[in-house]
Homo-oligomer: A and B are copies of this chain.
Amino acid sequence: MAELLTSRLGYLLKHAQLNFSQSGARALESLGINGRQLAVLVVLDAAEPLSQLDAANELGVDRTTMVALVDELEAKGLVERRRSPDDRRKNIVELTAHGKNTLAEGERRHQETEKTFLADLTPIEADLFVRILKKLAADAEAPVDQPETATGKEKKVD
């Protein structure tokens, strides 16, 4: 692969993300979970017990996706579903002891991976990078104004 695209933001973001998630996957491999599953454990390890929908919202996934995610974790014995006594439509999902241990070790490895990933940067650079990334990840809904339609600069091709 050559240099043509390597200054495109989309390309860079995609491949940075790819690299990082692969590093994460490798680090978690021997724990028997992947990054998504670890993320689910993270959100479930809250003060208040969460329903599947709560967890899905926290994680930013669809509630139908959360079904499979919890299925997987339950099959591994990391979490348990139980009916909420307050609202019997809800599944309260809680970590098992095994789940808590896996979470702790997973988090340790996750932090190790982040550290390794940013190891080439100075602390100042790393900090700035994360700050910028937060900003860029945040304005999800903020509609980017489209100057071509807004200013009439849009060109018809052919």
Measured CB to CB, the residues of A under 8 A from B are 1-2, 4-21, 23-24, 26-27, 30-31, 35, 39, 42-43, 46, 57-60, 97-98, 101-102, 104-105, 108-110, 112-114, 116-118, 120-121, 125, 128-130, 132-140, 144-149, 154-155, 157-158
State whether B130 touches A116 (Cβ < 8 A): no
User: In the bound complex, what is the Cα–Cα distance between A5 and B61 (angstroms)?
Assistant: 13
Q: Name 28 A/B residue pairs within 8 A (Cβ), A-sorted.
A: A1-B60, A2-B58, A4-B43, A5-B43, A5-B59, A5-B60, A7-B134, A9-B117, A10-B24, A10-B35, A11-B137, A12-B137, A13-B16, A13-B21, A13-B133, A15-B60, A15-B137, A15-B138, A18-B140, A19-B139, A19-B140, A23-B144, A26-B144, A104-B157, A105-B157, A116-B147, A125-B132, A129-B132
Interface of A: prevailing SS: helix
> What B residues does A110 contact at CB under 8 A?
8
What's the minimum C-beta distance from A132 to chain B, rounded to whole angstroms?
Answer: 5
Q: Is the CB of B98 within 8 A of A58?
A: no
Cβ-defined contact, A136 with B30, below 8 A: no
Report the separation of the CA atoms of residues A15 and B20 in the bound assembly, to the nearest whole angstrom: 13
